[in-house]
Amino acid sequence: MTRQRTLGLAALAMLAAAPLAIGGCLNSSAAGIDPAKQALPDYGPVSPEEALAVIQACRDDPDFVLLDIRTPAEVEAGHLPGAENLDFYAPAFVDELAAADRDKVYLIYCRTANRTGQAWTLMSGLGFEKVYDLAGGITLWNELGYPICTGAVGRGHTCAVAGYPGID
């Protein structure tokens, strides 16, 4: 084999392996990463188990947004640790969503996944491509015993949940 061909094959091998080395909060199918190695599902509806894996893998990524689209009163009664709130029923919901960064990865949830189904469709229409939708909403999340934090979301509020690595 010629030296040029050997170098060319080595370069191709490095390019093929690059997505595996990037890691972080990338969608497996969009980035060409083997889902089994990354343990991240495809964008779209995800089970609570898959959502937990996404949160654990992405929580330190500044390009990841855990978005609760319920009312402030619903959020205060219990929300996923690390969530931000954007009220689906607020008059400015569509405008605020339209102003959001389309390059970020979003995991959206509501009470039972009715509002998130509508929001996911809206986000897709607005050009968002990296959106997870928690199937069953926080209701199913809670029924399965996953962590929930109480209190208003915002500055100065932190959630500490023992027993769930990667969520605090």
Residues taking part in catalysis = 110
Let me know: does 133 contact 109? Beta carbons within 8 Å.
Answer: yes
CA dist 2 and 5 (Å) reads 5
Residue bearing tokens 């009312």: 71
Which helix (H) or strand (E) element contains residue 109? strand 105-109
CA dist 107 and 128 (Å) reads 12
Residue bearing tokens 């405008």: 95
The amino acid occupying position 93 is F
